[in-house]
Amino acid sequence: MGKELGGGPGYDELSVEVTVDVSKKYINVSKHKRVLTPVINETVILYVNEVRLNEDADEVFVVTEFFESLMQQGQLPMYTCSCGIFGCGGFYVHVSYKDQGVMWETEQSAYRKFMFTRENVRCVAQKLIKELSALNDLRTASGLQTYHNLDSYRAKLDGFINY
């Protein structure tokens, strides 16, 4: 624990990267008709001290659970299998608040413990909201359904800030 990277001495540094892949593919709308439709895929990757948190690239970060961790402590299924079934793959992150810090404990190939400043977690949450807002706008402009409830995310972040 404790690289000095913006989090301060003794704290780990949490960061996030959001990538968006936009393409088009044909989908069948009837037995004899296909339509070219936009496809937008997002990938959200968390890093701790510049190292990817999930070791297995098939594990998917669950954004809703991250924002849930801003409001509650405990064991949260923050990563799931790419198939969407948690029991197939993925892992829990045990979240607890310590003074001005937020501790994450994971059990992947080895037990790991990380301590972040509340400010660092707040900045990551704000960046994530900004990136997901742009993604929602892109999906709307392409005529696709949006998946992220930004108002809920903002409310949870406000609760975290005012804790």
Give which of 116, 108, 140, 112 is closest to 15, Cα–Cα.
116
Instruction: Give the list of residues 6+ apart from residue 111 with CB closer than 8 angstroms, or none.
Output: 105
Q: Give the pLDDT band of residue 140 (cuts 50, 70, 90).
A: very high
- The mean predicted confidence, pLDDT, of the chain is 89
* Tokens 């690289």, residue located: 3
pLDDT value for 8: 61
User: Are residues 102 and 76 in contact, defined by beta-carbon separation less than 8 angstroms?
Assistant: no
pLDDT value for 55: 80
- In the chain, the percentage of residues whose pLDDT exceeds 70 is 94
In this prediction, residues 123-149 reach a mean pLDDT of: 95
Helix pair angle (150-161, 118-141), 10° resolution: 170
Q: Say which DSSP state 109 is in.
A: S
Strands annotated E in the chain: 14-28, 34-48, 51-52, 59-61, 74-81, 90-98, 101-107, 111-117
**Backbone phi and psi for residue 106, each to the nearest 5 degrees, phi listed first:** -130, 155
**11 has a pLDDT exceeding 80:** yes
- In the chain, the percentage of residues whose pLDDT exceeds 90 is 69
Tell me if residue 13 falls in helix, strand or coil.
coil
Instruction: State the distance between the two ends of the chain, measured CA to CA, in whole angstroms.
Output: 25
Q: Is this model's pTM higher than 0.95 or not?
A: no
